[in-house]
Amino acid sequence: MNKYLESVRVMLGGDPRKAEPAEYTEEAKVIHFYKKNQKEDFEALKLEAREHQKKRYWLKRRWTVLLSINLLFTVSFWFDVQILEGALTASRLLGFHLIDLNSALQVMLAHKHIIVNLFIGTGTVFVLWLLLGGRTFCSWVCPYHFLAENAERLHVYLVEKKKISDHAFHRGVRSVFWVLFAAMAWVTGYTVFESISPTGIVSRALIYGPGLALGWVTLLLLFEIFYSRRAWCRYVCPIGLTYGFVGVFSPVHVTYKLANCHHEGECRKVCEVPHVLECVIKGRAPSAKLDIGSDCTRCGMCIDVCPSGALSFEISGLRKIM
């Protein structure tokens, strides 16, 4: 099946498909065969690989970017430097309109008119995230993601201590939410999703000061800590799905190299969307090199934890040019 279609199907909630025997490339078959039949002990190799691992390489970079962008909004307003005005829903970078795609969609559906400024602003943002990887927005910009991934550490700790257990939902529910929120905006004429979106709420709280709305965000975080891991980002947020669509054809993605993989599964443990990493399971990858699907937020956590460099960021086409 076409890899883009498959990527969208999985993003919408479908289970990742196991490749048919015929789909395996010769190269992949050779690697799988070699891995299966080699009885050598890999421990020494694994330990050596871990020695050379860069700790939290992408995490540091990502948090720096995320916090800088959000603080730039705050600083621009508080010190009136006018670099980045507005909030994440809509802003102006040195005068250029930037408008969040999902917010723009909600507004257009509720308002039932296409506004020229809105069109220009979404155009810039569309191109930006098309180039940078769609859901890159989630992990590199969204302030709620930052709160949620720290809450997630607490959740994982509590699960390890067997204090609580994680409750998964069907991933398809996010696609249903996307349609429902769009329908609600159209039918009621209000931007319903915006009123509960923690992305908008946290972004505005950082810029214009905290309010009661942060209580809702706190409830969401508590739900994620004690009941369901990363529930909002995984199962609800339509912003993620909107940007996911933008990222389908994006050149920036995480790439998997079968030959380097020790199949330890560390990457899937830290991943927000582990269904995109099914290919790292032993025997699953149909080719020696695979691009991770569009639901991936390009957060780089898997790259950070992989001790053997099987995962890395790649920009398609760049290698050809260079």
Partner 1 sequence: MSDDKPKAGNPLVNRRKLEARRKFLRSIVLGAAVMGISSVGYIPVARAWNVRMRPPGALEEPDFLSSCIKCGQCVQVCPVQAIKLDDIEQGYGVGVPYIDSRTQACDFSCDAVQCILACPTGALVYHKPAFMPSRSEMRLPAPPILLAKEKSPEPTLNLKERSGLAVLLRPEKCLARQGKGFKGMARGPSFKGKMRFMEVDRWKPIPLRDHPFELELCDLCVRTCPIKGAISMESVVENGVTIKTPVVHEACLGCGVCEMVCPPDLPAIVVEARKGWSV
| Interacting residues toward partner 1 by CB under 8 A | 76-77, 85-92, 97, 99-100, 103-104, 107, 110-113, 115, 117-118, 121, 167-170, 172-173, 176-177, 180-181, 184, 188-196, 200-201, 204, 207-208, 211-213, 215-216, 231, 235-236
Nearer to partner 1, 49 or 128 (CB): 128
In the chain, where do the E strands start and end? 84-87, 90-93, 96-99, 252-257, 289-291, 311-315
Nearer to partner 1, 15 or 23 (CB): 15
> From the CB of 217, what's the least distance to partner 1, in Å?
10
Among candidate residues 93, 94, 118, the one with its CA nearest the CA of residue 105: 118
State the residue for tokens 């398809």.
Answer: 172
Nearer to partner 1, 238 or 244 (CB): 238
State the residue for tokens 């479908």.
Answer: 14
Give whole-number Cα distances, 105 to 52, 99, 131, 139, in Å. 45, 10, 20, 21
> From the CB of 129, what's the least distance to partner 1, in Å?
17
> From the CB of 137, what's the least distance to partner 1, in Å?
16
CA angle 228, 212, 175 (to 5 degrees): 40
Nearer to partner 1, 110 or 301 (CB): 110
Nearer to partner 1, 58 or 243 (CB): 243
Among candidate residues 271, 258, 264, 256, the one with its CA nearest the CA of residue 302: 271
Nearer to partner 1, 106 or 250 (CB): 106
> From the CB of 109, what's the least distance to partner 1, in Å?
9
> From the CB of 169, what's the least distance to partner 1, in Å?
4
Phi, psi of 222 (to 5 degrees): -65, -40
> From the CB of 267, what's the least distance to partner 1, in Å?
23
Nearer to partner 1, 42 or 77 (CB): 77
Nearer to partner 1, 33 or 208 (CB): 208
Question: Helix (H, G, I), strand (E, B), or coil: what is residue 96?
Answer: strand
> From the CB of 207, what's the least distance to partner 1, in Å?
7
Residues contacting 81, CB < 8 A, separation 6+: 75
Secondary element (H or E) of residue 73: helix 57-78
Among candidate residues 122, 149, 140, the one with its CA nearest the CA of residue 246: 122
Among candidate residues 174, 173, 170, 165, the one with its CA nearest the CA of residue 228: 165
> From the CB of 235, what's the least distance to partner 1, in Å?
7
| β partners of residue 90 | 87, 99
